[in-house]
Structure 1
Amino acid sequence: MNIKKTCAVFCFALTGMLNAQHYSIIPQPTNLQINKGSFSLNKDTQIIIDPHLENEALLLVNDIELIKGIKVELAKAGIAPVSNFIKFQLIKPLIKSTEEYTLSIDEKSILISASSAQGIFYGSQTLLQLLQVNHGMAPACIINDKPRFSWRGMHLDVARHMFPLKDIKKFLRWMAYHKLNTFHLHLTEDQGWRIEIKKYPKLTSTGAWRRSTPPYGARKSDNNIKYGGFYTQDQLKDLVAYAQKLHITIVPEIDMPGHMSAAIASYPYLGNSDIQYFNPQVMNRWGVYPYTLAPKEKTFQWIDDVLSEVCEIFPSKYIHIGGDEAPKEQWQESDFAKAFIKKNNLKDSHALQSYFISRIEKILQKKKRKLIGWDEIREGGLSKDATVMSWRGEEGGIASAKEGHDVVMTPIKFTYFNFYQAPEKEQLAKGKNFEAFGGFIPIEKIYHYNPVPAELSTKESQHILGTQAQLWSEYIKTWDRLEYMAFPRIAALSEVAWSSNTKKDFNEFSKRLKDIKLQYKRAGINLYE
C-alpha cells in the first residue's frame, strides 16, 4: 500500500512563519499546558521508536515530508541523539484506555508516550496538527489527552451511490486526523447491493444494478441511465487493511430483513413469493419498499452464508444488520409468514421482526461477533446482548440503556450530515445539484450535541458507547459533493465524541477551526463555508 501517495492529497507543504504560536487542535485535548519556545524540524531530525511502532512512525514520516519537505530518519530505541528528535515511547498501562497519550514538546525534543500503538498514533495526529498550523514548528507544551467515548464514528452509504476506494481512503485519513475510530459502511439497499458474495453471484450481477436514478431536483422522476457496480472482496480487504493502519475499525452493514429489494430481485425465493403482485426488482427511486425477507429456513441459510463471507472480510467485533424500516405488509399478507407466526407462537408481525433479529444474532454469535442495529430492532423485544444505534431520536437509546443495552447515539436531528448545513432556500439558489435530503443541521448544532441524555443515571450512561454521523447518499452523487456535506462538520463531531462536554465553547472552537479549515483547503477538500 502506498501510504505516501494517499497522504499526498491530505497534507500540503507549507511555507513562511507565523507571528504567534497556534494551538489549534481538533478535537480539543483534555489538558494543555502551554510553555515557552518551540521545536523546529530540520534535516537532522530523527524519530526514535521500537519495532512495534513502525507503522505509526512511517505515517508521521510521510506527513512531515509533505509539510516541511524533510525526510525524517527512523532510529531504534536506545540510540538517542542529544537533541532534535521525536520519540515514541510505550509505557506500562496505568489506566484502562489504550487511546490515552501524553505529548511533551520542548525546544530539543518531542516525546509521545502511551500504553498502546493506538495512543501513540493519536499523539502523532495532535503533533501533526500543531506542525501544520505552525508551518513545520511545534510550539512547546505538555498535553495529556484521552477520549470521552470509545465509539467515534462516521457512516457512509455506498448503496445508493458508490464512491472510488481511493477517495474513501482519503476520507479515512481525515477521520484519523480528528481521532475518529469507527467507519460504518452501509453496503446493501433496495437500490443496490455493493459487496461481492462469492456463493451468490447474482447479488452483484443482478442486485448491483438499477435501471435509473432520480436526477437532482426531481425526486419522483428518472434519468433513464443504468447505474451500479460493487466492490470485490479483495478491494474491501485492502480497505480494511488501510483502515487498520489508521486505527479505524470498519463496521459493515447488511440491512435486513427490510431494505432487501435488490437481494430478493437477485434470488426471488428469499422473498414472500406467495403474495399477490410479487415482482421484486432493484429499485430506481428513493424511499422505503415493502420487500422483506421471508422467514424460510432457506432464507436463514442464505443469511448465514452471506455473513460468513462478510466476517471473512471484516474482522470487526460488531456486524451491523440494519433492522430499520422493515414494513410488515408482506408478512401480514403471506400465508407462509402467517403460518410461521402461528407455528412459533409469535404474537404478530412485530414479534416476527424480533424473531428475525434473534436468529441473525445467533448466527453472528457462532461467528464470535456482536449484533448492532438501528433502533427498530427493539420492536417485539430485544436480546440482552444486542447493541442499539438510536437514529429516530434519543428515545430508543434511552430505553435501551435503561434496559442494560449498549447504545451508539445517532439521532437524526443532530448527526445526519446528508441534511442541509445552511437553509434549504439558500443552498438551492446555488443550483439543483445542491439539493440535500432535507432538514437543517448547521455545525453549531452538532457541536452542542451531548450524546449522554440527561434522563440517564451515571450507571446507565455507561452504556452509551459514543456517537457517529451519517452520510446517506441519495443526494450525494459525487465525491466533491460528499466532501461538501462532511467538511467542516466532521470537526465538530470529533470534538463531541472525544472532548469533555464541560469544556465546550463554540466561539473558541470556531477560532481553532479557522486554522484547520486552511488544512482542508490546502488538501483540495471541497468544504462548505
Structure 2
Amino acid sequence: MQNIRTIRYCFILFLSVLVSCKGQTDKLNDNCPLIPKPLSVDMQPGEFTFGDSVVIELKTDDEEIKRAANFLKTFVEQTGSCKAQIGTGEEARNKIVFTVCDTIAHDEAYRLDVSPRTVTIASKGGAGAFYAVQTLRQLLPAECEKKICDENVILQVPCVNIYDEPRFKHRGFMLDVARHYFPLDFIKKNIDIMTLYKLNVLHLHLTDDQGWRIEIKSHPRLTSVGAWRKQSIAGHKNDVPRKYDGKPHGGYYTQDELREIVEYAHERFIEVIPEIEMPGHTQSILAAYPQLACFHKNYEVSCDWGVHKEVLCTKEGSFKLLEDVLSEVFEIFPSKYIHIGGDECPKDRWSECPVCQRNIKRLGLKDEHELQSYFIKRMEEFVNAHDRQIIGWDEILEGGIAPNAVVMSWRGEAGGIKAAKMNHSVIMTPRDFCYLDYYQSEDRDNEPLAIYGYLPLDSVYSYNPTEKLTSEQGRYILGIQGNLWTEYIATPEHAEYMAYPRAIALAEVGWSRQEQKDFTDFIYRLTIQSKRLDSLNVNYAKHFLFSVKNKNDKL
C-alpha cells in the first residue's frame, strides 16, 4: 500500500511539474512569440515603454550599425506614436543603445537586453545589430506594422535578456519571375517579410524558356523579343486536351529597377543573387537569337511549362553572348555568387548537332554529359575571373563538377550530400521540403491549382539539412532555401498564399538550432504572429489557424 501511495505521489508531482513547465513556456511565448526562435531567452520583470519619444544612442562609428539604427528610427516613427532621435541619451528618460561587443564572435549574432529604462543592443557588426532590431520589432504590438497605428496602441516591450545567432549563414528565398512577371512593389514587399523573419538571401530566377526579365543593353532583343510570350497554359499542363488563355504575357526589369531592388534589399541586410539559366531553359534566348541554337530556325518564347529540348549550342557565339550578359549582370548585382542554372538540359539536340559532336571530339570528352560539364566549367572560369563564384543546380555534378562551384541540391538531398563529401559548398533546397509551389493541403478542390505534390507546413518545419551528414561534412552546408516556382502562380496574392507561412517555417529551420525546434511550439508562436502578418496585409495560407482551433475545441 505504501508503494502505491508513493507511486501516486510521484505521478501527481510529475504532472504538477509538467503543467508548471507548460505554463512557463506558454507565458514565454505570449510575451516573446519570436520567429525564428532565439538561442537563449531569459524573461525579466517589467516593461520598456517608448513613450512619445525615445533616444537612440550609438556608441560606435560603425556605418552598418548606423544603418540598423536608422531602420529602427524609421520603423518607430512610422507608427505615428513616437519620435525617435539619434544622439546621446544621458538625460533621456528612455533610450536604446547600440554598442559593439568584442566577445561576440559570430557576424550575425546579437545580444538584446531590455530593462525598464534602457534597451541595449550589442553585436560584432551591422548584421547582428539589424537582427536584434527585428527581434525588438517582433516584441512590439503587431499593430506597429501598419504605417500609422491606432493612437491607443502603446509602444511597449517586455524586459528580457536574449542572446541569439543563426545556425546557417544562407537563409534564402527564391522567386521565379521568369514564368510570370511580378511588379517591383511586390518584390519589395516580399523583401520586407523576409526581413522580419531574418531571411538574408533573395534569389531571383530571371530567365527561362518562358521569359527573359533582365535588360541587357548589348543584346536588346533579349527583352524586345525574349520577354514576351503569346499566351500561357490555362489549367494544368497535363490536361487533355491542353488549353491556353490566349493572353500575351511579359515584362522585364530595367537595370535601374534591378539596382533599386538590390539597394532596397541591401538596406535590410539581404543579398540578391541573380540567376541566368544556361545551357538549358534558354528558349527565350533562342527566340531572340536563333543562330545560337544547334539548328537555325524560328523559335518562339515558350508558352508551355516543363523541360524543353531546345538548348544553347556549344558554339562560340553562345559563350560570347553569355559573357556579355554576365558582364552587365556583374555591374548590377554586387553579390558574391551568380547562379548559372545548369539544370534540366536535355542532350537530344547536342547528340544530333555537328558543332557539339566536333567539340566532344576536339576536347577529348566522353559524351554530352561531359560536354555540359565543359560548358559550366568554362562559364565558371569567366565568373571567377571577375571575383565571383557560381551556384548551380545539382545537375552540375553530372560529367564532373566545376572546381569552385556551390551546389544547390533540389532533386533531393543526394546531390548535396555527394557535393559535401567532395568538399564543395552546398545549399540544401530539396523539393520534398522546400518547394513552395506544391499543394499545402490535401483538399485540392478548395486549393488554387498547383504544379503537383503535397508539402504541408509540418513537413517543411521538420527538415534538418545536416541529418544525413557527419559533423565534418555538415560544415559544407551553407544553408537552406525555399523556392517559389510560378508556372501556376500569376498574381502577388497567389504568390503570398503559397509562400507564407511555409517560408517562415524555413526561416526557423535556417536560423534556430535543431534541438530547439518543436512544431507545436512553433504553431503557438505563429498563431500570435499571424496578427503581424495581418497588419502587413499578407495573404498567407491559414490552415494552421484552423488546426489550432480544432485542437482547442477537442480540449
Asked whether the two chains share a fold, i.e. TM above 0.5, the reply is yes
- Residues 54 and 92 in structure 2, CA contact (< 8 A), matched pair in contact too: no
Q: What corresponds to 1:81 in structure 2? A: 91
Cα deviation, residue 20, structure 1: 10
Q: Does 1:285 align with 2:295?
A: no
**Corresponding letter in the other structure for 2:289:** Y
Counterpart in the other structure of 1:47: 56
In structure 2, the residue matched to 1:240 is 262
1:184 aligned to 2:203?
yes
Q: How does 1:210-359 map to 2 (within 5 A)?
A: 210-216=229-235, 220-273=242-295, 278-359=297-378
Give SS of 2:83's match. coil
SS at match of 1:207: coil
Q: CA deviation at 1:324?
A: 0.3
Contact 1:100 1:145 (C-alpha < 8 Å) held by counterparts: yes
Q: SS at 1:258's partner residue?
A: coil
Deviation of 1:133 after TM superposition, in Å, equals 4.7
Query: What is the rounded CA distance, in whole Å, between the counterparts of 1:478 and 1:470 in structure 2?
Result: 16
Q: 2: CA distance between counterparts of 1:406 and 1:486? A: 26
Equivalent-residue separation in structure 2 for 1:191 and 1:37 (angstroms) = 57
The count of residues paired between Structure 1 and Structure 2 equals 500
* Residue in structure 2 matched with residue 14 of structure 1 by the alignment: none
- SS of residue in 2 equivalent to 1:527: coil
Q: Give the Å deviation of 1:523.
A: 1.5
Q: Alpha-carbon deviations, 1:23-62, whole Å to 9, x = none? A: 1100000011111111011113111124523322222122
Please name the residue that 2:16 is paired with: none
Query: Quick one: which of 126, 146, 151 aligns to 2:170?
Result: 151
**SS at structure 2 position matched to 1:45:** strand
Q: Give the aligned residue type for 1:467.
A: I
Distance 1:339 1:93, change over 3 A: farther
Question: Contact 2:53/2:82 (CA < 8 Å) preserved in 1?
Answer: no
Preserved contact between residue 52 and residue 81 of structure 2 (Cα < 8 Å): no
Q: Which letter does structure 2 place at the counterpart of 1:335? A: P
**Offset from partner CA, 1:265-294 (integer Å, 9 cap, x none):** 1011211126xxx44220001111111111
The residue type equivalent to 2:445 in the other structure is: L
Task: Report deviation, 1:88.
Answer: 1.2
Distance in 2 between residues matched to 1:500 and 1:235, nearest whole Å: 37
Change (3 A) 1:19 1:308: closer
Task: Please list the CA deviations of residues 106-152 of structure 1 after superposition, one character each: whole Å capped at 9, or x if unmatched.
Answer: 11110011011111000000000001359521101100000000000
> Are the counterparts in 1 of residues 230 and 303 from structure 2 also a CA contact under 8 Å?
yes
Q: Conserved in 2, the CA contact under 8 Å of 1:350 and 1:379?
A: yes
Contact map agreement 1:46 1:74 (CA 8 A) in 2? yes
Maintained 8 Å contact 1:22/1:133: no
Structure 1: distance between partners of 2:308 and 2:502? 31
Deviation track 1:200-235 (CA, whole Å, cap 9, x = no partner) reads 000000000000111245652211111111000000
The residue type paired with residue 90 of structure 1 is: V
Give the secondary-structure state (helix, strand or coil) at the position aligned to 1:72.
strand
Q: Are positions 1:439 and 2:453 aligned together?
A: yes
> CA–CA distance in 1 between the matches of 2:38 and 2:104?
19
Distance 2:213 2:489 in 1: 16
Aligned counterparts, 1:374-523, within 5 A: 374-423=393-442, 426-429=443-446, 434-454=448-468, 456-523=469-536
Residue 70 (structure 2) aligns with? 58
CA distance in 2, matches of 1:19, 1:416: 32
The Cα shift of 1:320 comes to 0.2
Q: CA-atom RMSD, angstroms?
A: 1.7
Residues 62-141 of structure 1 correspond to what in structure 2 (within 5 A)? 62-67=74-79, 69-76=81-88, 79-92=89-102, 94-95=104-105, 97-133=106-142, 136-141=155-160
Residue 75 of structure 1 deviates from its aligned partner by 1.2
Instruction: Pick the structure with greater CA Rg.
Output: 2
C-alpha deviation, 1:65, in angstroms: 2.9
Output the CA distance in 1 between the equivalents of 2:135 and 2:355. Answer: 58
The equivalent of 1:22 in structure 2 is 31
For residue 90 of structure 2, what is the amino acid of its counterpart? A
Question: How far off its partner does 1:303 sit?
Answer: 1.2
With over 3 angstroms needed to count, the CA separation of the structure-2 counterparts of 1:84 and 1:417, relative to structure 1, is same
1:45–1:85 contact (8 Å) kept in structure 2: yes
* C-alpha contact (below 8 Å) 2:287/2:301 kept by paired residues: yes
Are the aligned partners of 2:408 and 2:427 in contact in 1 as well (CA < 8 Å)?
Answer: yes
Asked if structure 2 preserves the Cα contact closer than 8 Å seen for 1:24 and 1:133, the reply is no
- The residue number in structure 2 matching 1:527 is 540
Which segment is superposed worse, 43-52 or 31-40?
A: 43-52
Tell me, in whole angstroms, the C-alpha distance in 1 between the residues paired with 2:446 and 2:69. 47
Moved more, 55-64 or 131-140: 131-140
- For structure 1, the 5+ residue unaligned runs are 1-17
Distance 1:525 1:335, change over 3 A: same
Deviation, 1:457, is 1.6
State how far apart, in whole Å, the 1-side matches of 2:294 and 2:164 are.
53
Matches of 1:152 and 1:20, distance apart in 2: 24
Change (3 A) 1:305 1:315: same
Q: Is the 8 A contact 1:56 1:121 kept in 2?
A: yes
Q: Quick check: 239-248 or 378-387, which moved more? A: 378-387
1:148-195 Cα deviation digits (max 9, x unpaired): 000000000000001111111111011011001001000000000000
Matching residue's letter, 1:484? Y
**1:211 and 1:284 in contact (8 A); partners too:** yes
Residue 447 of structure 1 aligns with an amino acid whose one-letter code is Y
Q: CA deviation at 1:453?
A: 3.1
SS in 1 for 2:226: coil
Per the alignment, in what secondary structure is the counterpart of residue 234 of structure 2? coil
TM-score (norm 1): 0.92
Distance in 2 separating the partners of 1:312 and 1:73: 36
Moved more, 222-231 or 82-91: 82-91
Tell me whether 264-273 or 175-184 shows the greater mean CA deviation. 264-273
Secondary structure of 2:401's counterpart equals coil
Distance, in Å, in 2 between the alignment partners of 1:225 and 1:442 is 32
Judged with a 3 Å threshold, the aligned counterparts in structure 2 of structure 1 residues 20 and 389 are, in CA distance, closer, same or farther, namely closer
Q: Aligned partners of 1:164 and 1:71: how far apart in 2?
A: 33
SS in structure 1 opposite 2:300?
A: coil
Whether the 8 Å CA contact 1:488–1:517 is kept in 2: the answer is no
Change (3 A) 1:331 1:367: same
| 8 A Cα contact 1:175 1:181, kept in partner | yes
Distance 1:291 1:215, change over 3 A: same
User: Per-residue displacement from partner, 1:233-288 (whole Å, max 9, x unpaired)?
Assistant: 000001000100000000000010000000011011211126xxx44220001111
8 Å Cα contact 2:51-2:155 kept in structure 1 = no
